[in-house]
Amino acid sequence: MNTPNLGYRTGVGVQTGAVYDEGLRQHMLRVYNYMGVGLVVTGVIAFVVASTPALYVPIFSSPLKWVVMLAPLAFVLLFSFRIQTMSAAGAQAMFWAFCAVMGLSLASVFLVFTGTSIARTFFIAATMFGATSLYGYTTKRDLTQFSSFLIMGLIGVVIASIVNIFLGSTALQFAISVIGIAVFIGLTAWDTQTIKEQFAENFGAESQQKLAVFGAFSLYLNFINIFQLLLNFTGERE
């Protein structure tokens, strides 16, 4: 892991180290705050749309549903390719817009599953995410060595999910859910460690605000995917 040499042996070094530690704590808190508020935005919009027939009927009973379902993917691609050239304000605006669009996309969850099972699944997903993110933050092990396997697993899950849209195989969906949960748990730990390392590499730089937004975006995606995949096991249909 890349940690700046802060010279802890000298008085100045101790002071600088304390500043760095406080900066890292504030940075991670900012990342989790962005992510948490983003989840609230998504949840509120999803619930409101699902509770309002005048909203969900035109969306999910017409080809518009495909636009709503695929729009988050467009945001992911745009965010990934444009993050380097975006301003911090632009990154924030795109993140909030993405969370809102995800809310539209996830409204169907409230139409298919019971509220109790959704709440239970959310709690399980939050527990798994929290434990894994804490591991990624505290471990001294370099998780980059697992990155290629995680990326390959992610690509495999995406391709299999697209194929299963047409096949409708229960067995394949089960395999996708199991492998997908494992992949996104691994990505949560790796992304958390990466966020920590990026702070070290950009300590004191103006780009930290934008890095916090992008870090929140990465963790948000991991959590949403863990939650959706868990619903296949713990969700109870209406």
Greatest CA separation for the chain: 67
Say whether 85 sits in a helix, a strand or coil: coil
Q: What is the pLDDT of residues 115-167, one digit of tens each?
A: 899 999 999 999 999 999 999 999 999 998 888 899 999 999 989 988 888 88
The domain total for the chain is 1
Instruction: For the chain, give the mean pLDDT.
Output: 86
When pLDDT is averaged across residues 209-213 and rounded to a whole number, the result is 88
Confidence of residue 203 (pLDDT cuts 50, 70, 90): low
Asked whether the predicted pLDDT for residue 229 surpasses 90, the reply is yes
Q: How far apart are CA 195 and CA 193, in angstroms?
A: 5
Q: How far apart are CA 206 and CA 179, in angstroms?
A: 38
Domain-embedded: residue 86: yes
Domain-embedded: residue 105: yes
Confidence of residue 9 (pLDDT cuts 50, 70, 90): very low
User: 3-state DSSP helix/strand/coil percent for the chain, to nearest 5?
Assistant: 85, 0, 15
pLDDT of residue 3: 45
Domain-embedded: residue 1: no
pLDDT of residue 59: 83
Domain-embedded: residue 2: no
Question: Could you list the residue range(s) of the whole structural domain that residue 29 is in?
Answer: 11-234
Q: What is the pLDDT of residues 48-86, one digit of tens each?
A: 999 999 888 888 888 887 888 888 888 888 887 877 788
When pLDDT is averaged across residues 88-98 and rounded to a whole number, the result is 90
**pTM recorded for the entire structure:** 0.87
- How far lies 87's CA from each of 59, 83, 228, in Å? 33, 8, 31
Share of the chain above pLDDT 70, in %: 91
Domain-embedded: residue 196: yes
